[in-house]
Structure 1
Amino acid sequence: MSVHAFVDESRRNDTYLLAVALVSPGQLTKLRKMLMRLRMPNQRELHFKKETPARRKQILSTLAPAVVHVDIYLACCRKGEERARQTCVARLTDDVLKVGVTRLVFDSREVRDDHDLLTIRTTLGKSSWGTGLFYEHLPSENDPLLWIPDIVAWCYGAGGDWLRRVQPLMGNVIDTRLP
């Protein structure tokens, strides 16, 4: 079965977090509609950092039963945030191929998107055309499914009660800082 993956980032102190939401094609439309209904009037997108605690709780309560799986990749930022991100992107690229991802969508960072593309191409090597993996960068307001990794990454980074509340959506935590 093909799977779609949606990726966003967060940072807490020296820890870089890259979250990837894995969504089956049958859930795409349902989840997009659910997320669009969660926006406030005149709100273009959900960005968890900007939401009030009460809104965060409401959003998490609505999302908790959703059929979505979010993995978190961790890296150390002490030698640079971009280096940490690319460590996560390389590992994520290998991992999404193993679970049958056919579409990989990153929240755009505009001019820095080229770093991701180079890392993906390098990771895939000569087999890039044969993988069937389509990857792109989009602004987060263009696809509500990019809001899910933003939500999970923020909650994971915040820890405590927020981490407890996001557990129904959590998948694996891949710590690239470990040998």
Structure 2
Amino acid sequence: MSVHAFVDESRRNNTYLLAAAVVLPRELTKLRKLLRGLRMPNQRELHFKKETPARRKQILSALARTSVQVDLYLACCRRGEERARQSCVAHLTGDLLDAGAARLVLDSREARDEHDLLTIRTSLGKYARGTGLVYEHLPSESDPLLWLPDIAAWVLRRRR
């Protein structure tokens, strides 16, 4: 069965982290509804570092009852943050191809999105159309599923 992946980033010191929430198609609508329901009134999106400890606990408790898988990709930034990111994006793309993924959505970094697109196209090679993988960048407030990798990255960083 094909999957959809939603990706966000985090950086601390010289470590770059790319988190990819991998969601089965049958779970997409249910998870979006759950995440939208976790927002406070007038809140456009969940951004975990801005939440209070009590809210974080509430959100994590709700997500613990789901079947979301989050894959993590780490790289060293000593040779540059963009280079580290593109290494992670290339590995992620390969893993998604192996999994038969249908869609890859990355949290937009606006002008820097072109770097990701080039890396993905290169990773897909000359058979890009045959893979069936659709990929795009979206602002995080446009799809609640982009909040999942933000949450996972925050939790991982907090535990380190």
Do they superpose with TM above 0.5?
Answer: yes
Corresponding residue of 1:39? 39
1:1-179 aligned within 5 A: 1-159=1-159
How far did 1:101 drift?
0.8
How far did 1:63 drift?
0.4
C-alpha offsets along residues 93-125 of structure 1, whole Å, 9 cap, x if unaligned? 000111121100000000100000000011111
Matched residue SS, 1:22: strand
RMSD: 0.8
Letter in 2 for 1:68: V
Matched residue SS, 1:117: helix
How far did 1:80 drift?
1.1
Q: 1: distance between equivalents of 2:14 and 2:155?
A: 16
The TM-score with structure 1 as length reference comes to 0.87
How far did 1:33 drift?
0.4
Runs of 4+ in 1 over 3 A off after TM superposition: none
Q: 1: distance between equivalents of 2:61 and 2:13?
A: 27
C-alpha offsets along residues 12-63 of structure 1, whole Å, 9 cap, x if unaligned? 2111000001101100000000000100111000011111111111110110
Q: 2: distance between equivalents of 1:142 and 1:16?
A: 24
Q: 2: distance between equivalents of 1:110 and 1:49?
A: 21
Matched residue SS, 1:153: helix
Letter in 2 for 1:126: K
Any unmatched runs of 5+ in structure 2?
A: none
Matched residue SS, 1:101: coil
C-alpha offsets along residues 69-105 of structure 1, whole Å, 9 cap, x if unaligned? 0010000011111111000000000001111211000
Q: 2: distance between equivalents of 1:153 and 1:83?
A: 19
C-alpha offsets along residues 118-140 of structure 1, whole Å, 9 cap, x if unaligned? 00011111111110000000001
